[in-house]
Amino acid sequence: MESPVQQYLQAIADACASTDGAVAGYIPELAAADPDRFAMCLATVDGQVYRVGDASHRYSIQSISKPFTYALALQDLGVEAVTAKVGVEPSGDAFNEISLAPGTGRPRNPMINAGAITAASLVDGTDGADRFDRVLAWYGRFAGRELAVDEAVYTSELATAHRNRGLAHLLREFDILTGDPEEVLDQYIRQCAISVDTRDLALMAATLANGGVHPRGGEPVLEPGVVERVLSVMTTCGMYDAAGDWVSSVGMPAKSGVSGAIIGVLPGQVGVAVFSPRLDGHGNSSRGVTLFERMSTDMEMHLMHVSRGSRSAVRNAYSLAEGLSRSRRRPAEQDTLARVADRAMVYELHGDLLFAGAEAIVRTVVEDDPELAVFDFSHVNEIAMVSRRTLVALRDRMREQDALAVVVDPEGVLPDPDAGTDRATRYFPDVPAAIAWCEDELLSRYGGDVAAHDPVADHPLLALLDDEQCSAVQAVMHESSYRAGEVVLAAGGAFAGVHLIVEGSASARATGRDGRSVTLVVMGAGTSFGELALGTGDVQETEIVADSDLRLLVLPADRLERLTREQPALALAVWQAIARDGYRVADRALRRGAVHQHQG
């Protein structure tokens, strides 16, 4: 099946096939380009590359080199030293304008030729050739392959570079360039002649879109702080004297070059490159500009496009009173929980948590003012630094009033800054486990007479029997114990009898679609397991694991069978108790399902 994204790109390429403009004439080799050649590539930050047209046709990178050399200078020298030599103000001038700040001679920005020649001189290296070698290898890391110079373009441009030569000497006169201006000029013209194809450019743009990490293979190329700086300058200066128009109508950091390519960067999403050699009056590809305008509108790529993402950071919030608990407990505990369960809240979070998302979480929690809060990060992708700080501050505020926040974070998106200390946050593998802990905590805070309970005699399966029946049943049961983590019943086994939990707790677990083990039910003292197999053709479908050290009283399947045959009156009472308890559990599960569905 052809991807609709691929179809869409092909359709807009066909729809925007203007023949306005003319191929750049001032570099003889470029004047020979085929004006009708066309390519467009879109690379996502996770490395998917869509191509339309002649995506592997090569041409010289020209001015699209400028942001990448500027980035290398910034990474080599630091922002301050680079900014002392070249500014970040849009000049409103054409790319090759001889414009330097009056008095200092400092070029206004690194996207016009004067600034780009200066940036080239600031790259680390012993001489022009050495600096160039570093630049060439550097671009290769963005493209994801080794690049080379188109010697014909280089020779052709060097021979006619009167304007750029003039600029280089002027910059030397102002001491903006310090070495030999001819050496820097040569380096700059070589850098403009590096040969790339449209796919290379899309990946170079996507590396910027991906915070400086190559979308294929994940190599970190550029520091995030440098990425921000480079993208800012591309936004304000990348399209020369058309920058204002571009920012308004397309709204993407971009860079164009006279061979006819334009790259656009949508931070966090995609890098796009278009190649079509006919240029408009500003020296930008005409078809390229039209296509970017079209994509920006259709795909809502404008940087200032307001997304709602952060407003829905809290996908669902419910209290334990709303019945989502998956634990089975003895009736007395259930009563206590029914009274206080609304003091514990579960917050299901999702998306990328930027500041606005963290603020929404904080606001919700402050309003609810819960005593216990479970924050479920299972569906959160990324958490901005500011959000991490905000969430830790929220946890600390809660602690001040004796409220506790716990975290469910199977993917490890939110490491605890206090891990290993006595301030550490409690982490759980999934929500049911966290809820079970909250219930224990609520019971220890409000439980009252729970300890006075006799876990055997008061067990729902035994409570309705008279003393004589009770001891007769206990006589055919045996005790058994397990260590925390041990498997009590394996999935797939035959009905193994009824297991009463006397002490500790156990979980029923199953393997989810992603292969991860999920908790279905957490069972505490006073509950039982194993009998559910009677409802599934005598097959134990889930795995039962001891959560803590576990003490059980087991009525094995063969004993229950024998009891049924030999002491039918007693067996009837036992089966009655099993049925009653089974219906009690089923009833709670049905109600809980209804509440969950109601909440959406």
- Which of 44, 62, 236, 507 lies at the binding interface for ligand GLN (CB under 6 A)? 62
66 is catalytic: yes
Catalytic member of 240, 347, 427, 482: 240
* Cβ closest to ligand GLN, residue 260 vs residue 504: 260
Catalytic member of 188, 347, 427, 482: 188
C-alpha span between 349 and 382 (Å, rounded): 11
* Cβ closest to ligand GLN, residue 44 vs residue 164: 164
The number of angstroms, rounded, from the C-alpha of 353 to the middle of its chain's C-alpha atoms is 9
- Which of 21, 212, 257, 370 lies at the binding interface for ligand GLN (CB under 6 A)? 257
Q: 414 near 305, Cβ under 8 Å?
A: no
> CB of 415: closest distance to ligand GLN in angstroms?
45
Q: How many helices (H) and strands (E) does the chain have?
A: 20, 22
| DSSP output for 342-405 | GGEEEEEEEEEE-HHHHHHHHHHHHHH--SEEEEEEEEEEEE-HHHHHHHHHHHHHHHHTT-EE
3-state secondary structure of 76: helix
* Residues 268-297: x where in contact with ligand GLN by CB under 6 A, - otherwise, as a string: ---------------x--------------
> CB of 379: closest distance to ligand GLN in angstroms?
45
- Which of 69, 91, 96, 290 lies at the binding interface for ligand GLN (CB under 6 A)? 96
Strand partners, 314: 349
The pairs formed by 427-433 with CB atoms below 8 angstroms and a separation of 24 or more are 428/374, 429/517, 429/519, 430/378, 430/518, 430/519, 431/346, 431/348, 431/374, 431/376, 431/378, 432/325, 432/326, 432/327, 432/507, 432/518, 432/519, 432/520, 432/521, 432/522, 433/408, 433/507, 433/519, 433/522
- Which of 192, 435, 498, 523 lies at the binding interface for ligand GLN (CB under 6 A)? 192
- Which of 44, 69, 121, 164 lies at the binding interface for ligand GLN (CB under 6 A)? 164
- Which of 109, 113, 334, 540 lies at the binding interface for ligand GLN (CB under 6 A)? 113
Q: Does 95 bind ligand GLN (CB under 6 A)?
A: yes
Catalytic member of 258, 270, 289, 431: 258
195 is catalytic: no
Q: Does 132 bind ligand GLN (CB under 6 A)?
A: no
Q: Does 63 bind ligand GLN (CB under 6 A)?
A: yes
Q: Encoding tokens for residue 61?
A: 């990178």
* Cβ closest to ligand GLN, residue 112 vs residue 508: 112
Among 196, 219, 203, 264, which Cα is nearest to 48's? 203
Q: 157 near 96, Cβ under 8 Å?
A: no
> CB of 62: closest distance to ligand GLN in angstroms?
3
258 is catalytic: yes
> CB of 198: closest distance to ligand GLN in angstroms?
16
3-state secondary structure of 489: strand
- Span 428-467, contacts to ligand GLN by CB under 6 A: none
* Cβ closest to ligand GLN, residue 119 vs residue 506: 119
Q: Which residues are catalytic?
A: 63, 66, 188, 240, 258
Question: Footprint of ligand GLN on this chain (CB under 6 A)?
Answer: 62-63, 95-96, 113, 157, 164, 192, 257-258, 283
